Structure 1
Amino acid sequence: MPPRPRVHFLTAHPDPASLTVSVLNRISEGLESSGITVTAENLATSNFCTTFSEPDLAQYRAFLDGGPRWLPTDVLAQQQILEASDVLVVVFPVHWWSLPAQLKGWMDRVLTGGWAWGIRRSGRTTSEMTRLTVYLVPLAGTESEYFDEHGYRTAMETQIEQGIFGYTHTRRTTWTWMWNAARHPQKTLQEADKLAQSIARDLSRGDHPSIPADSLNHAR
């Protein structure tokens, strides 16, 4: 019998009753009801430090100098979670047209050289994240037209999809935008239910993701 798929959720919101956390919970509950193993971490309330500090810098310099690979234990634990997962779902409120600082700090610390990037195998550059599919679920405070008028959506998708998850060779990155989320909480939660169903369906057939590229979902 094949192992159950594993999905890891990541967010950063200090209010456990927030719409952001509610969206995460709705997606995770939908997946669990389909027999999928789910883990989750809220960086705003967890013990993981998201500040890139001296030990992280020392590790980065050691990698550039070709020295032995070593990692702070908390970073290694986060990487092991990703290695055990098939899917990473990042649910976040849009802060100044980007990720919340704690999520960016998690990426600064966890996506290290020699693991998430900079590995040479068979004459090409790869990483330990190639089997991981990433779903990004941003909760926006306006409609899509405002983001598109000012270029915010293109900027975010370029930075995060190409600059982070493309650079780390993840299998695929899919966006599910929750537009004007706070004004339409019930609609937003319904979209979360639909996303859970899509992820579960894709995992059940070993093909992920296959989210339709409609007005709320954008996949590349």
Structure 2
Amino acid sequence: MKTLIIFDHPRRDSFCGAVLDHFAAGLREAGHQPEIADLRAEGFDPRLAPEDEPDWGNSRKVYSPAVLVEQERIARNEALVFLFPVWWWSVPATTKGWIDRVWNNGWAYGDRKLAQHKALFLGVAASDADQYAKRGYDVAMQTQLVTGIAKYCGIEESRLNFLHGALGSEADRLALLNRAQDLGRSF
């Protein structure tokens, strides 16, 4: 399966970058074909300009060339994976801006929906699972990302996974990298 991985971290050589490498390796081991969209390295501008603002009266609006390139990249893939550090209980601003600009009315929602079969949001989190559950962050993010974005845009087979404890010991971090590779294999 052709899978677009949307990666958002300011440093490709970060722990999140290592998670990306392990997840992509797992995909390849399972026979999938990953394509990586490194939003920061590619210089994607997350700001929504008037030319990319949804036009509620015209669901066939043609968006900016930058958005059309991203829409073509999505269209050539069967599945989407968002790999990101959890910041303020959400995705980083560049990812949110990418969704705001690219997943637009008449293309990802409205009278047309996305054609992808599945989506995964893979959040790299410093805190442990108990902290997320205690405060309801896990449920809030599930509602926001899976229900409010992926399923709203027609991707019914969508889920959110966390790699908790990213600031732990080397052994903990190695276990998270192995888990990322397993998630890629089982995707």
State the TM-score, normalized to the length of structure 2.
0.92
Pick from 39, 45, 48 the counterpart of residue 44 of structure 2: 48
Whichever residue aligns with residue 185 of structure 1, its letter is R
**Structure 2 unaligned spans of 5+:** none
Q: Mean alpha-carbon deviation: is it higher for 139-148 or for 169-178?
A: 169-178
Pick from 3, 8, 12 the counterpart of residue 16 of structure 1: 12
Question: Would you say 1:196 and 2:181 are equivalent positions?
Answer: no
Matches within 5 A, 1:1-220: 5-57=1-53, 60=54, 63-66=55-58, 68-119=60-111, 126-127=112-113, 129-183=114-168, 184-199=172-187
Which residue number corresponds to residue 205 of structure 1? Answer: none
Q: CA separation in 2, counterparts of 1:66 and 1:11?
A: 31
Q: CA deviation at 1:80?
A: 1.3
- Residue 163 of structure 2 aligns to a residue whose secondary structure is coil
- Structure 1 67/15 Cα, relative in aligned 2: closer, same or farther at 3 Å? closer
Whichever residue aligns with residue 173 of structure 1, its letter is S
Deviations 1:32-55 (Å, cap 9, x if unpaired)? 244322210111111321111222
**Structure 1 unaligned spans of 5+:** 120-125, 200-220
Q: CA separation in 1, counterparts of 2:59 and 2:21?
A: 42
Moved over 3 A (4+): none
Q: CA separation in 2, counterparts of 1:138 and 1:131?
A: 20
**Contact kept in structure 2, 1:9 and 1:91, CA below 8 Å:** yes
Q: CA separation in 1, counterparts of 2:184 and 2:65?
A: 32
Q: CA deviation at 1:145?
A: 0.8
Q: CA separation in 2, counterparts of 1:198 and 1:33?
A: 10
Which residue number corresponds to residue 211 of structure 1? Answer: none
Deviations 1:70-111 (Å, cap 9, x if unpaired)? 111111111111111111111111000111000000000011
Q: CA deviation at 1:30?
A: 2.4
- Aligned residue pairs total 184
Q: CA separation in 2, counterparts of 1:131 and 1:178?
A: 24
- Structure 1 67/167 Cα, relative in aligned 2: closer, same or farther at 3 Å? closer
Q: CA separation in 2, counterparts of 1:149 and 1:68?
A: 44
**Contact kept in structure 2, 1:136 and 1:175, CA below 8 Å:** yes
Deviations 1:113-145 (Å, cap 9, x if unpaired)? 0010111xxxxxx51x14331011101111111
Q: State the superposition RMSD in angstroms.
A: 1.5
Q: CA separation in 2, counterparts of 1:20 and 1:10?
A: 12
> Share of identical aligned residues, percent?
27
Q: CA separation in 2, counterparts of 1:84 and 1:67?
A: 21
